[in-house]
Structure 1
Amino acid sequence: MFDMHEVLVGTINVLDQFIMLRQFVQDQELLGILDRQYQFILSQYNLTAECFKTGSEPSQKTATYLMKEDNQTVYGMKPSQPHKPLQSMTDINDGLISRQMLVSIKAQASMMTMASLEMTNPAVRRVLSAQIQQFVEMAFEIFLYQNKHGYYQVPQLNTQDMQNMLNAFAPAQGQPQMPPNNGSMGQQGLH
């Protein structure tokens, strides 16, 4: 009960934040993302609230969020202004707005994941679980927008560093030799 209460309040907070941020958006592309995501989250909120209240499968299926970004990440760092707290409302720009959107979506995805892991009602658990992937897509869409506009830069590793990281793991070979389970051995650690 308490976890679902937090999830639903968190969803309302995301929706409220999007409404508050909307008035400051200047880029039509960002406005389109904000409006699409708002409508999607609102529809899923209604579905989740229904499922929570009834304890049964909702009257509609959970939806799939389809982002419009091209899935192309720009790598490399370019000089930019350092981040700092706002000094006035005139400092609000699309970079800040998209960052706030991303933080909200990521926090809600985390909250939904944590709640769904221990949700005792199977219908509610399935509804939450299905929505988590949609929040991942929305967060990635915002990341791509930020990345394209230089608000979220991704460092480019040199070839050798990348190869070192890629080769840092190897598959397990054969069967592991498991220690015997003789019952009393595990009890010794509890005292």
Structure 2
Amino acid sequence: MQNEQNNYMEQQNGKKLSESMPANKSHGGHELYDAHEVISGVMGVLDHYKMYEQHLQDQALKKILNRQSSFLTELYNIMVESLQTGEKPSKSTHIYHMEQSNNVMYGLETTQPKKPIQSVSEISDENISGLMLGQVKGLASLMAMTALEMTNPVLRRVTADSVPNLIEMSFDVFLYQNKQGYYQVPQLADQEMTHMTEGFATAPTIPLN
């Protein structure tokens, strides 16, 4: 009865319900542009990581780059499959796990002022790790924005589930930079920090009926 009603509604208004369409056609036009943009974004990070590889000196950073490249390659394949089939992919997305501790070094120390490099020979692990951080952070933002625009439930879920992983990747690169002294983290004075952290009070919960 419900299917008959849906078919009647489709015939009357010229529109289609997703349940009556092939899964690989269940995509909105705007969604397809967004999907191409975000998948191209994943591919762009992979391409850049491959270019960075030859300039790396620190084996610890190289290990992070290789682990993230492997993870993103698998994600790329899952997203391509989800886009083309509209169905649950043959492999599920995984959770990205860091191998280093979460300890952050706070405080500032005097360093030489930075300036743009003048030749390829000046490229350092500091430069590369900064580029890596910028790219995965940018991809995390793009994924979050794109997931909000997707109508296909499978592709939307794959994209949304990738956001926490990209956040974790960003933190992984940040921690490396922080431990090397490339990314210093200033703090407020104790009194100011207390003022900021205690600036809110909890609200009473509202019982659900």
The one-letter code sitting in structure 2 at the alignment partner of 1:50 is: E
Residue matched to 2:4:
none
The one-letter code sitting in structure 2 at the alignment partner of 1:92 is: I
Residue matched to 2:48:
17
CA displacement, residues 86-142 of structure 1 (integer Å, 9 cap, x when unaligned): 111121100110000000000111111100012100000111111111101110000
Residue matched to 1:64:
95
Residue matched to 1:118:
149
What SS does the corresponding residue of 2:185 show, helix, strand or coil?
A: coil
Q: 1:164 aligned to 2:189?
A: no
CA displacement, residues 55-105 of structure 1 (integer Å, 9 cap, x when unaligned): 111111101111111111000001112221111112110011000000000
For 1:174 and 1:39, how far apart are their aligned partners in 2? 44
Q: 1:6 aligned to 2:2?
A: no
- Count of residues paired in the alignment: 175
Instruction: Give the deviation of 1:38 after TM superposition.
Output: 0.3
For 1:50 and 1:8, how far apart are their aligned partners in 2? 11
The one-letter code sitting in structure 1 at the alignment partner of 2:53 is: R
For 1:152 and 1:9, how far apart are their aligned partners in 2? 28
For 1:95 and 1:104, how far apart are their aligned partners in 2? 14
The one-letter code sitting in structure 1 at the alignment partner of 2:111 is: S
Q: 1:103 aligned to 2:126?
A: no
Normalising by structure 2, we get a TM-score of 0.81
Normalising by structure 1, we get a TM-score of 0.89
Structure 1 runs of 4+ aligned residues shifted over 6 Å read none
The one-letter code sitting in structure 1 at the alignment partner of 2:42 is: T
Aligned pairs for 1:1-191 (under 5 A) are: 1-172=32-203
The one-letter code sitting in structure 1 at the alignment partner of 2:97 is: L
Identity among equivalent positions (%) equals 46
For 2:79 and 2:130, how far apart are their aligned partners in 1? 26
